[in-house]
């Protein structure tokens, strides 16, 4: 009986998730923190809320230059706006954590802090399930005297299952 219930629940979840999975995006690209021109890489996943123009953007960035490593990990609520036939603008706000490590060897200092985060970007659909994006993100640690990190990212995305 437990196996029958498990199969039924899994089937129901798969049926409900099928329309949502058609628009899940996996993104990859490059980026840069403007303060100190710290280059890095970007990876993110967009989980849409069914057929609504909103969703969740989970992202991880890794920036490194001259012994300084910065790694923001964020989750943001996202809202999409149709700009053209195959182009969308989006913005979102959320929170996360940021890890910063400075120095090398024995003289290394690191910290992890909670952050507030915002993003504004544009994405365009290319051929099939592929597309491109460009965005600007802002992160600020939730501590007294914290600086605001302004960064830009650009890259490509793939949609897991093509829209019908």
Other C-beta atoms lying within 10 Å of the C-beta of residue 69: 17
Does 74 score more than 70 pLDDT? yes
Nearest to 138 by CA among 27, 56, 35, 65: 35
Cα–Cα dist 11/15, whole Å: 6
CA distances for 41 relative to 11, 61, 70, 79, 86, angstroms = 37, 6, 11, 23, 25
**Contact (Cβ atoms closer than 8 angstroms) between residue 110 and residue 97:** no
Does 134 score more than 80 pLDDT? yes
**Contact (Cβ atoms closer than 8 angstroms) between residue 90 and residue 81:** yes
Q: Tell me the average pLDDT across 96-117.
A: 86
Residues 6+ positions from 11 with CB-CB distance below 8 Å = none
Q: Tell me the average pLDDT across 136-160.
A: 92
User: Residue ranges of the domains in the chain?
Assistant: 22-159
| DSSP structural state of residue 146 | P
The arrangement of secondary structure in 22-159, i.e. its CATH architecture, is Beta Barrel (2.40)
**Contact (Cβ atoms closer than 8 angstroms) between residue 56 and residue 46:** yes
Range among 16-20, 117-121, 144-148 with highest mean pLDDT value:
117-121
Cα–Cα dist 126/55, whole Å: 21
Does 123 score more than 90 pLDDT? yes
Task: Tell me the pLDDT band of 161, cut-offs 50, 70 and 90.
Answer: low
């Amino acid at each position: 009986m437990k196996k029958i219930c498990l199969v039924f629940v899994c089937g129901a979840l798969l049926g409900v998730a099928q329309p949502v999975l058609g628009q899940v995006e996996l993104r990859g690209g490059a980026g840069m923190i403007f303060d100190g021109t710290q280059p890095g890489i970007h990876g993110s996943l967009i989980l849409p809320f069914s057929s609504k123009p909103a969703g969740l953007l989970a992202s991880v960035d890794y920036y490194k230059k001259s012994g300084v490593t910065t790694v923001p990990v964020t989750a943001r609520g996202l809202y999409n706006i149709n700009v053209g036939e195959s182009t969308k603008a989006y913005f979102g706000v959320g929170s996360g954590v940021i890890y910063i490590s400075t120095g090398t060897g024995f003289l290394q200092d690191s910290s992890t802090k909670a952050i507030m985060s915002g993003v504004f970007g544009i994405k365009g659909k290319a051929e099939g399930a592929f597309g491109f994006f460009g965005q600007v993100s802002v992160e600020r640690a939730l501590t007294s005297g914290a600086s605001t990190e302004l960064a830009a990212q650009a890259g490509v995305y793939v949609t897991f299952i093509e829209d019908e």
